[in-house]
Amino acid sequence: MAADKFSFDIVSEVSMMEVDNAVNQAQKELANRFDFKGSKSSIEFNKSDKKIILIADNEYKMKALKDILEDRFSKRGVSIRSLDYKSQENAFEGYIRQTAEIISGLPSDKAKELVKLIKDSKIKVQTQIDGAKIKVISSKKDDLQQVIAYIRGISFSLPLQFVNYR
């Protein structure tokens, strides 16, 4: 039994169906809110580019749009850490536009950073970067559970899931 290897994968995945549902709910709330009546503010979702475009009349309404969107994300179970807000820019006729990219997958620089954190924890496991996931291997299940607890305890910039636990 001691020769058996146990493993799990660390991934960062976002359900695009849930993102679509959250954006649709945010659009409905935007249409019904009194403070947005007569406003040209909008929330648009570009599924092919995985981008959400927010357009608002002013800074106050942009903040309110972000709050609506993030509230809907959290209610749908989608982590708001998967949103990467770009800088605001001026749009047509004095409006403000801001793009939020949806981060899905584990970029190589973030994967390297996560592997370094695991190695610095001094838990006796092996790690491999395999495309958009990290495979963690050990001969003891307890070590794998320690790694999961350690990663959950740190504040990482991306939402992480642990899959294929064997």
Residue 65: helix, strand or coil by DSSP?
helix
**Prediction pTM value:** 0.79
How many helices (H) and strands (E) would you count in the chain? 4, 9
Cβ–Cβ under 8 Å, residues 98 and 89: yes
Q: Which domains does the chain have, with CATH numbers?
A: 6-13+106-163 (3.30.70.860), 16-102 (3.30.70.990)
pLDDT for residue 3: 57
Q: How far apart, in whole angstroms, are the C-alpha atoms of residue 55 and residue 123?
A: 47
pLDDT for residue 1: 45
Please count the other Cβ atoms lying within 10 Å of the Cβ belonging to residue 87.
6
Q: How far apart, in whole angstroms, are the C-alpha atoms of residue 154 and residue 83?
A: 19
* Amino acid letter, 132: A
pLDDT tens digits, 6-63: 888 888 888 899 999 999 999 999 999 888 888 888 999 998 999 999 999 888 999 9
Cβ–Cβ under 8 Å, residues 146 and 162: no
pLDDT for residue 29: 92
Q: How far apart, in whole angstroms, are the C-alpha atoms of residue 4 and residue 106?
A: 28
pLDDT tens digits, 64-115: 999 999 999 999 988 888 888 998 888 778 889 999 999 888 888 888 889 9
Tell me the sheet residues that pair with 45. 52
